[in-house]
Amino acid sequence: MEGKIALEEHFSTNLNNTYRDAKGEESRNGIEYARDIEKRLLDAELCLREMDRAGIEMSVISLMSPGVQSVIDPRKATELARSANEYAASVIKRCPGRFSAFAAVALQDPRSAADELERTVRQLGFKGALISGYTNIGPNESVQYLDHRIPFTLRVCMPSAWT
């Protein structure tokens, strides 16, 4: 190994893929390319072989798009985040020292996002969370960019023990 650490290397899950529109990828790059990418994102063993070939010692993985931010229903977004984090934890457990992760959190429900971040860091050893630049937060798939001024504030509550 050359001591390389790769950040934000993506993975997917079958549940995450149910929210993805594969037709767009297929129309841009062809069906074979889209299928190859999907296979790679679902296969941790293939990822590990690719890491070895590239001399990457550790990879900090994170959920790819469409991701939690694209899910409007807070309950479903929270379910997707927890499911993705459990998958990432299973990859880390199978290959300790080779993988870590940034947690997926559902900003659609700030309390649940804070709870999930605390759980993944404290119990699963994740390095933090990867927060997308936007979150779908309302009817008609209204998008809230985190740097956009709005009349209300989207807050993530941090447990007092962290401050």
Question: Is the Cβ–Cβ distance between 134 and 89 less than 8 Å?
Answer: no
* Amino acid letter, residue 41: L
Residue 161 pLDDT greater than 90, yes or no: no
| Total count of domains within the chain | 1
Report the CATH number at residue 21: 3.20.20.140
Rounded distance between C-alpha atoms, residue 48 and residue 61, angstroms? 12
User: What are the tens digits of pLDDT across the range 48-79?
Assistant: 888 899 999 999 999 887 788 888 889 999 99
Provide the token pair at 151.
């009349």
pLDDT at 112 over 50: yes
Which residues constitute the domain of residue 20?
Answer: 4-162
Name beta bridge partners: 145: 134
Task: Give the C-alpha separation, 56 to 59, whole Å.
Answer: 7
Looking at the predicted structure, is the pLDDT value of residue 131 above 50?
A: yes
Would you state the structure tokens that stand for residue 5, as one six-digit string? 């650490």
Cis preceding linkage at 96, omega within 30: no
This prediction has a pTM of 0.76
